[in-house]
Structure 1
Amino acid sequence: MRPGRPVVVHEDGTSLWTLMHTRDFARAFVPLLGNGHAVGESVNVDSGNILTWDQIRLILANAAGVRKPVLRHRSSESIAEVLPPWRDILEDDFWHSVCFDTGKLRTLVPGFAPAASFAQCAQELIDHHDRARARSGRAGRG
């Protein structure tokens, strides 16, 4: 994104997805361990924060300091032609909106709320990669 190259987004970028930081996952999951009310239950451990794929790309771009990212929408099939290992996840998972009911989680873990927004997580991710690039001597390359 930083050098201004287009970023490919599958389909039209409007399907919904949820993301959760591992710290928040742990804060939700650990209290379920040994909780007698959770035994035998299916519990969606999810942040409840719902974003479109375009929003995800735009938040990442903002974290990287890119004010006008170029998003290019492509069909899942056309992406899979170039990247065959991605075929199943693109066509089976990412194509469809994914939202989870977190009511049971919030009942079993009262007061749980994610502490990290995706914008914060995106900034941590970009900072981590920038530090790794600097250590490897690849800083400044797009």
Structure 2
Amino acid sequence: MTLPELVRVAGARWSVEECFQAAKGQVGLDHYQVRHRTSWHRHITLAMLALVFLTALAADAAPGPPAGTHHFLRARDPITLTVPEIRHLLAALAPPAMTAARLLHWSNWRRRHQATARRSHYRRRSADEPAG
């Protein structure tokens, strides 16, 4: 095995690990108690299908790339919809605990709050970087 191929495989491992972590945290990939391979396969298949559905919704809701490199320092818009946010919105709609308008208002407030936190984080990081 050549060194470039080894580096490529090691780099691919990181994205696979992140995908497994997202599936465990968002759709319960690791929440199964089964006795047969068929049951395990059904659970894993449904969990991965749910993650693909949520990821596709998040990708469809994402706007184009930002115009400038310092876009996040100036933007006042809420962050784009993420997989956890979409999952939370869908879960909140299941039992009619609140109206759709109130739910969307809450989601917008939450994403604006996250954007403020991100802006603060980027400002802090850019202030800590050396000038030269």
TM over 0.5, yes or no? Answer: no
Flag the structure with larger Rg: 2
Structure with the higher helix share, 1 or 2: 2
For this structure pair, what is the TM-score category when the shorter chain's length is used for normalisation?
A: under 0.3
Question: Given the two structures, how large is their TM-score scaled by the length of structure 2?
Answer: 0.25
Structure with the higher strand share, 1 or 2: 1
